[in-house]
Each structure stands twice: as C-alpha cells, then as structure tokens.
C-alpha cells in the first residue's frame, strides 16, 4: 500500500513521507498538527499498556492543541456471535463480494473476524482470498478515560455507521463504528 501511495504522490507531484512502524513505538523526526487513524486501527492494540504506549508516543509527536482523529469499534454495537454478513460493491465491470463472520469474546473485548472475498470481472471469477484477524473493541466511556489519562481531551464523537457522513450525528449506545476527535492537552 505504501508503494501505491508513493506512486500516487509522485503522480500528483506531492512530497509525502511515509513510515511503516508499530504504532506503539513511533519514531518520527518532527511534530504534527493532526494525526489520523482510520479503519479501526486502534483495535489492533489489544492491551491497555499498548494503548498507553500508542497515545504517549502520539502525544510526543503531536503539537499542543493538535488533533487526533480516529475511528474505533464500540462494544455496544457488537452483534450476537456468530454474526454473519455479506457486502457487494460494484463498478461498471468488477464486482467485489465480502462474506464475513465475527465472534466476540466478552471477557477480552476482542472480536475475531473471518472474511472471504470474491472478485468477479465481467461475470468471471478473477480472484478469491481469505482474511482472518482480531480487533479490540472499546466503549466510548472507556476510550474517553484512556484519552484523558494520557494527555488528550475528547472534543467530539460521531456515529460512523451512517451512510450520509456529511450529516454527522452523535453516536448511540449501539453504534458500532465511532469517529472520535481528541485534542492534545
């Protein structure tokens, strides 16, 4: 993905530095005004110590008053296990099908996802592959506490499950994906 991002940046004549690192042990050469973490990436940090390491590292490289914008998966939105779902995405010639099954461990707050992908081009199977991974889910109150105790103030939280993201609304108790905005204090 970094190769593709570099190619796009080169094509657009934009200079961007990309770093491939473990978010729990960041090493950067300057400070930033904003950090963005999407697609539930914080969910790959399973333990509280890892989350503390991530937030303290982020704080080190984020200017005071800088924003941390991130998405996380909310425990209140987790469906009964096993939960099965499928998705279809199309353009003119290609269709992607994703079939997923998730199970949630209430003792660890970790969700295991088993996904199967099928890519069809002009009604012919092009590729199929599988992914299996685990994600830590949090509550909004828990995330607020983690932020507060690690030098951040939660300034906003939004329901990221909505289809029309131009009309942001506050998350409900059963919202699964939450978009949060925190300020470095």
| Gyration radius from the chain CA atoms | 18
Task: Give the pLDDT mean for 79-106.
Answer: 94
In sequence order, what are the beta bridge partners of 72? Answer: 178
Number of domains in the chain: 2
Comparing 19 with 112, which gets the higher pLDDT? Answer: 112
pLDDT value for 88: 95
Q: Are residues 72 and 162 in the same domain?
A: yes
Comparing 158 with 18, which gets the higher pLDDT? Answer: 158
pLDDT value for 85: 94
Task: Give the pLDDT mean for 57-77.
Answer: 96
Task: Give the pLDDT mean for 89-111.
Answer: 95
**Domain harbouring 180, CATH code:** 3.40.50.150
Q: Following CA atoms 20, 22, 26, 27 in sequence, which dihedral angle do they give, to the nearest 10 degrees?
A: -50
Q: Are residues 69 and 150 in the same domain?
A: yes
Look up residue 135 and give its two tokens. Answer: 């994600």
Domain that holds residue 89: 79-134
pLDDT value for 164: 76
Collapsing DSSP to helix, strand or coil, 169 comes out as: coil
Task: For residue 132, give the H/E element and its range.
Answer: strand 124-136
Task: Give the pLDDT mean for 111-136.
Answer: 95
The answer to whether residue 112 sits within a structural domain is yes
Look up residue 104 and give its two tokens. Answer: 């949630």
Look up residue 185 and give its two tokens. Answer: 């204090």
Of the pLDDT bands very low, low, confident and very high (cuts 50, 70, 90), residue 165 is confident
- Is the pTM of the predicted complex or chain greater than 0.75? yes
Q: CA–CA separation, 43 vs 128, rounded Å?
A: 25
């Amino acid at each position: 993905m970094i190769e593709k991002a570099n190619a796009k940046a080169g094509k657009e004549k934009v200079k961007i530095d990309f770093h491939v690192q473990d978010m729990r042990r960041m090493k950067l050469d300057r400070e930033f005004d904003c950090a963005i973490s999407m697609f539930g990436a914080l969910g790959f940090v399973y333990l509280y110590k890892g989350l503390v390491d991530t937030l303290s590292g982020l704080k080190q490289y984020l200017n005071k008053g800088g924003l941390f914008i991130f998405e996380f998966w909310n425990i209140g939105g987790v469906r009964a296990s096993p939960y099965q779902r499928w998705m279809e995405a199309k353009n003119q010639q290609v269709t992607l099908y994703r079939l997923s099954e998730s199970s949630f461990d209430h003792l660890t707050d970790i969700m295991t996802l088993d996904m199967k992908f099928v890519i069809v081009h002009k009604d012919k199977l092009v590729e199929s592959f599988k992914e299996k991974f685990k994600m830590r889910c949090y509550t909004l109150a828990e995330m607020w506490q983690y932020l507060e105790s690690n030098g951040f103030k939660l300034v906003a939280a939004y329901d990221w499950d909505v289809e029309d993201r131009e009309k942001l609304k506050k998350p409900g108790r059963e919202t699964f994906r939450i978009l949060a905005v925190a300020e470095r204090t």
